[in-house]
Amino acid sequence: MSAHTEPRFLHRMPNIPLVEDAWEEIDASELVDVPLLGTVSAGMPMEVCADNETVRIPSRMVRRNTYALRVRGDSMIDCNIHDGDIIIIEKLESAENGETAVVLINNQEVTLKKVYIDKSGVRLQPANTTMPPIYLKNDDIQVLGLVMGVARRPANTPVNAA
C-alpha cells in the first residue's frame, strides 16, 4: 500500500455509465507525465486558464491524446469526481448521450458535465441533485474530451507536496 501522501488513481471501467462506482483503483506504477492544462469548473462555467504543468499518472491511463485538468466545484460528486481532484481526459471532439465531458461554451468558458443532445439542443447535466442543468444550442458548445480517470490526493495534502 502506498504512503498516505501519494495520490490514488481511479480508472474508468469500460462500457458502463460514469456513476460513483464506475471506477477501479489502479496501482501507481509505471508513472508517466501528461500535461496539466489548467482548471475546469464542476459548477458554473469559468474562463479557460492554462497552466504549464504536468502530472504523473499510471501509463495504462494514457491514450493517444491524454491531458489532465484540476477540478473546481462539486457539480460532479455523484460521479465520484470531487473538488480538488485531477481528472484524466482523452481528447475527443464528440460525446455520446450521458457521457461525462469537458465542454467549451461559446468559445470561452469550460465546464465538466454530463452531455445530453437532442433536436432541441444540449443539456449539460450536473451529477449533483442540488444543481440545475444548463441548456444551450448545439452550436454553442464544443466537446474537448471525455473523463477517463481521476487522480485524488489524500485530504489535507498540499498539491505541490512531493
Closest CA to 24 of 62, 80, 75: 80
- Whether 2 sits among the annotated catalytic residues: the reply is no
Q: Rounded to 5 degrees, what are φ and ψ at 60?
A: -70, -10
**Per the residue annotation, which of 113, 119, 120, 137 is the catalytic one?**
113
> Which are the contacts of 82, defined by CB distance < 8 A and separation ≥ 6?
71, 74, 76, 152
Pairing of the two strands 134-136 and 141-152: unpaired
Place of cell 509505471: 30
Active-site choice (2, 29, 75, 137): 75
Asked whether the beta carbons of 7 and 30 are under 8 A apart, the reply is no
Q: What three-state secondary structure class fits 128?
A: coil
**Residue 55's closest CA among 16, 84, 17?**
84
119 labelled catalytic: no
* Residues annotated catalytic, as ranges: 75, 113
